[in-house]
Amino acid sequence: MLRAIFADAVFCAALFVESLAVLSILHAVSGVDLREEFIPIMNSYHAKTAPLAAIGASLFADKPAAWFADAVLIAAVLFFLFFIAQARNAMAPYDDPQGSPAAEARGLEAAIDFLLPAGVCSIGAVVTAPALLPLLTLPVALWLLLKRLFGKPSWFKVSPSYYVNVALLTAIAAAIYALVR
């Protein structure tokens, strides 16, 4: 239960940071004027969060575009959510029946099973996000979803939270864009 609450809290925090990144991209690229309520939040975001992403962005360009650091944050979250289900499946590929010793893993084994895939995906997200390659996971995820909807099997498993994240981020971007217009 505690593990599920922790995972939900991390998901909500990532969605919040992604929402700020989308708002920043809308402001930088399309010149959307922000409402007065967004200005203190965006100032804090640009002062504390965006410089962390700009470190990775500076690896690929001397002076990256204004939206690049924001896109790096979004790409990192998309990478993590796209690969986490597959990483968990690859690191613990067998569904053990109830009552077996492996199904009742407790303590250190359960912590390793939970943290190892997340750690590997986090490292991958940090390494690949500055190249913006994780943004290519979106068309691949849509293709895999269509494949699954038409009943075709796929060996690759995408986490449902990936689709929820993309849908919520799209809805948030649309709502913000509608509010500031």
Note the residue count of the chain: 181
Does pLDDT of 99 surpass 60?
A: no
What's the confidence (pLDDT) of residue 104?
55
169 token code pair: 């981020």
Does pLDDT of 89 surpass 90?
A: no
**Cα separation, 85 vs 45, whole angstroms:** 29
**Cα separation, 86 vs 126, whole angstroms:** 18
Indicate the domain borders of the chain: 2-180
**Cα separation, 49 vs 71, whole angstroms:** 13
What's the pLDDT tens digit per position in 12-45?
999 999 999 998 888 888 777 777 888 898 888 8
59 token code pair: 């690896």
What's the confidence (pLDDT) of residue 82?
92
**Cα separation, 101 vs 17, whole angstroms:** 40
113 token code pair: 């099973």
With 0-12 / 13-18 / 19 or more C-beta atoms within 10 angstroms meaning exposed / middle / buried, residue 122 is middle
Mean pLDDT of 69-88: 90
**Tokens 């449902």 sit on residue:** 160
How much is the mean pLDDT over the chain? 83
Does pLDDT of 57 surpass 80?
A: no
pTM (whole model) above 0.85: no
Q: Which amino acid belongs to residue 166?
A: V
Give the DSSP letter string of 135-170.
GGHHHHHHHHHHHHHTT---S----HHHHHHHHHHH
What's the confidence (pLDDT) of residue 155?
83
What's the pLDDT tens digit per position in 151-174?
888 888 888 999 999 999 999 888
Taking CA 164 as the corner, what is the angle to CA 76 and CA 110, rounded to the nearest 5 degrees?
Answer: 70
